[in-house]
Structure 1
Amino acid sequence: MSKALFIVDVQNDFTEGGALGVQGGDAVAAAITRHLEAHADDYAVIVASRDWHDAQGDNGGHFHHEPDYVDTWPVHCVSGTEGAEYDPALSTDAVTHHVKKGQGEPAYSLFEGVTDDGESVAHLLEENGVVDVDVVGIATDYCVRASALDAIEHGRHVRILTDLVAGVAPESSDAALAELAHAGAELAQSGA
């Protein structure tokens, strides 16, 4: 039985100054780096995901010039751009697998992406006997939520490290954490 860490979408476009920057994103990036420095050896698998949208087209309706911020969004995390890169405060030295999601379509959960070798996250978990998953990253109320719910659906025990996530808005982030707890996720601090 082993453990995985999911680092969800800690990218320039989701941290301060980005196309969809969230308050506290840079601080979360730095805090995740500190967590990795102290705890990387606790994890058999460390997966970092990135939105990685196509430069051409609307990515299956995901991009819109008048976004509703529910199903449609401004252009963000376009493959090969600075906005799609990891936040500079996030060290990815300990990351074992990088996942890109949303290529040509909307995608919120890192389970919708694939590694650079074309492997799915579900396959990685099975292959490595992962039972427990810690989830950190951006945004609590969207991609962190979707990734954690999918991990629960795949039969994993999930902990949301609440001091290592940042959301779009306090109300929707609180609602997402409540939903995750109701679904069976444990809400914990990274030092716990």
Structure 2
Amino acid sequence: MTRALLIVDVQNDFTEGGALGVDGGGAVAEGVTAFVRRTSGAYSVVVASRDWHDDGNSNGGHFADGEPDFMDTWPRHCVAGTPGADYHPALDASLVDVHVRKGQGVPAYSLFEGTTDDGASATAALVDRGVTEVDVVGIATDHCVRATALDAIEHGLHVRILTDLVAGVAPEPSAAALAEIAHHGGLLETSSVVAGPSAD
């Protein structure tokens, strides 16, 4: 089995003080960096996604024209090239092998909707490396982490969510998202168990 780590949207605008900041986002950034360093060599590839939205348009209705409903429409966030779209400084981007940008003019939640720096799909980046299993971490549990995990399962990958390395917008929908992922076959695990002696 070949395993990848998928780091979802650990960006300034999704962490404390950002346009759509969630509580615990900064701790996720720190925790993911520590985890990747601790598990060096355990993953065939580390992939990180970022929202990377266009400036000057609604990105297919993703940016609200007026009051956002926080389901389909949102305040402006993660505009390409702005500090809000940058990785959180506590996430060591040098540990990332493949960078994925998603959005770019259209609504996008799942890492699998993005493209790599060389224009390939995220799916192709994993297939090319023979990945069959993925661990998913990042922000936000109830939105982009959920979408990424469910897409991974749909693509036939074995999925684990590292529950101490995700942060959600709100407790109830985050718990519901984790339950939904588990219902579809995803495993819920902690990073301490994965990084232990039995980690592959």
User: Which TM-score applies when normalising by structure 2?
Assistant: 0.95
Match of 1:124 in 2: 125
Aligned length, in residue pairs = 192
Instruction: Give the match for residue 136 of structure 1.
Output: 137
1:163 partner amino acid: D
Tell whether 2:101 aligns with 1:85.
no
- Are the counterparts in 2 of residues 162 and 188 from structure 1 also a CA contact under 8 Å? yes
1: distance between equivalents of 2:133 and 2:57?
A: 38
Provide Cα deviations, 1:41-94, integer angstroms capped at 9, x if missing partner. 101111000000000110000001310000000000000000000000111112
Scaled by the length of structure 1, the TM-score of the pair is 0.99
Gaps of 5+ in 1: none
- Checking the alignment, whether the CA contact within 8 Å between 1:7 and 1:48 is kept in structure 2 is yes
1:14 CA drift (Å): 0.1
Quick check: 1:40–1:94 contact (8 Å CA) kept in 2? no
AA at the equivalent of 1:88: P
RMSD, matched Cα = 0.6
Residue 4 (1) aligns with residue 4 (2)? yes
Runs of 4+ more than 6 Å apart: none
The 2-side partners of 1:105 and 1:121 are apart by 16
Matching residue of 1:52: 52
String of CA shifts for 1:128-176, please: whole Å, max 9, x gaps: 1111100000000000000000000000000000000000000000000
1:97: which partner in 2? 98
Q: CA deviation at 1:40?
A: 3.0
